[in-house]
Amino acid sequence: MKRGTGSYLGLVAAGTLLVATLAGCGEGTQDDGAAAQPPNGDETTTTAPPATSSSGQEASGNGRPAETANEQFCRSNELKLSIGKGEGAAGTVYRPLQFTNTSDRMCVLHGYPGVSYVAGDDGHQVGPAAYRDGEKGAPVSLRPGEVAHAPVGFVQVRNYAQEECKPVPVRGLRVYPPQETESMFIKYDGTGCSSDEIPGHQLVVRTIQSGPGGRG
């Protein structure tokens, strides 16, 4: 009887050891799987390929195919400035500030140009720069010779009290094309407010749009 009991206890002990061993093997497999994940600091990511049009060109944000290989922002030395015919509205005359691509490549204008009055031989700024009105539009691609414009509102400064406006003669506009730090100049004789504290905006500019704009 004692020998049988000992054999039985030995079998129980062996079975317990086998279960513990198998359990230990299961934990080891789970740890190996966790270790295969990349560390948080070195986590790798993948980027989806850009959407393409049926012609294989990358799609632009406005849904039109964009020839991205040639699309770079227009530089000041690649553009010619002009001012188109205007339209009046409630004491403000809106005229298209036109940008013509004079380069031999396609370039892009996107957003608002910087516009301000200048005076004197030194070209000092007169009053605040133009107020940006409305939402930023879509990029405009210009092939060589093509034109885009930004509507500029010229407020009749005579409508301001002289003590508020402090009017002075101006001889033109200093213009910064969008995404550009080199300014351009276009002659535009008139009168501007030299005060920075007028009740409103003497110049207003809207986002770049395709075409020459204006009347006729």
The pLDDT confidence band at residue 91, using thresholds 50, 70 and 90, is confident
CB of 107 within 8 A of CB of 101? Answer: yes
Shared domain check, 149 and 99? yes
Shared domain check, 200 and 98? yes
CB of 141 within 8 A of CB of 106? Answer: yes
- pLDDT at 167 exceeding the cut of 70: yes
Whole-structure pTM value? 0.67
Could you report the per-residue pLDDT of 38-63, keeping only the tens digit for each? 333 333 333 333 443 333 333 333 33
- CB neighbourhood size of 185 (10 A): 13
Mean pLDDT of the region 170-179? 98
Shared domain check, 98 and 201? yes
Left (φ > 0), alpha (ψ -120 to 50) or beta: where does 127 sit? left
Q: Look at residue 52 and tell me if it is in a domain.
A: no
Left (φ > 0), alpha (ψ -120 to 50) or beta: where does 181 sit? alpha
- CB neighbourhood size of 84 (10 A): 19
Range of the domain at 157: 76-210
Shared domain check, 180 and 95? yes
Total tally of structural domains belonging to the chain: 2
Whole-number Å distance between alpha carbons of 12 and 6: 10
Q: Is 17 helix (H, G, I), strand (E, B) or coil?
A: helix
Shared domain check, 102 and 2? no
Whole-number Å distance between alpha carbons of 100 and 111: 16
Tokens of 40: 């948080």
Shared domain check, 110 and 14? no
Whole-number Å distance between alpha carbons of 11 and 117: 100
Q: Look at residue 44 and tell me if it is in a domain.
A: no
Q: Look at residue 55 and tell me if it is in a domain.
A: no
Q: Look at residue 68 and tell me if it is in a domain.
A: no
Q: Look at residue 67 and tell me if it is in a domain.
A: no
Mean pLDDT of the region 176-194? 97
Report the pLDDT value the prediction gives residue 139, as an integer from 0 to 100: 97
Shared domain check, 120 and 24? no
State the CATH number of the domain containing residue 110.
Answer: 2.60.40
Which residue has tokens 């140009």? Answer: 113
Tokens of 196: 């920075």
Top pLDDT among 50 and 152 is at: 152
Helix, strand and coil percent figures for the chain, each rounded to 5: 20, 35, 45
Q: Which of 60-64, 94-98, 113-117, 141-145 has the lowest mean pLDDT?
A: 60-64
Shared domain check, 23 and 81? no
Which residue has tokens 């295969």? Answer: 36
Q: Look at residue 139 and tell me if it is in a domain.
A: yes
- Closest listed residue to residue 118, CA positions, set 175, 199, 180: 175
Shared domain check, 85 and 15? no
Whole-number Å distance between alpha carbons of 202 and 191: 10
Shared domain check, 95 and 146? yes
Shared domain check, 4 and 92? no
- pLDDT at 204 exceeding the cut of 50: yes
Q: Look at residue 40 and tell me if it is in a domain.
A: no
- pLDDT at 168 exceeding the cut of 50: yes
Q: Look at residue 54 and tell me if it is in a domain.
A: no
pLDDT, mean over the chain: 77
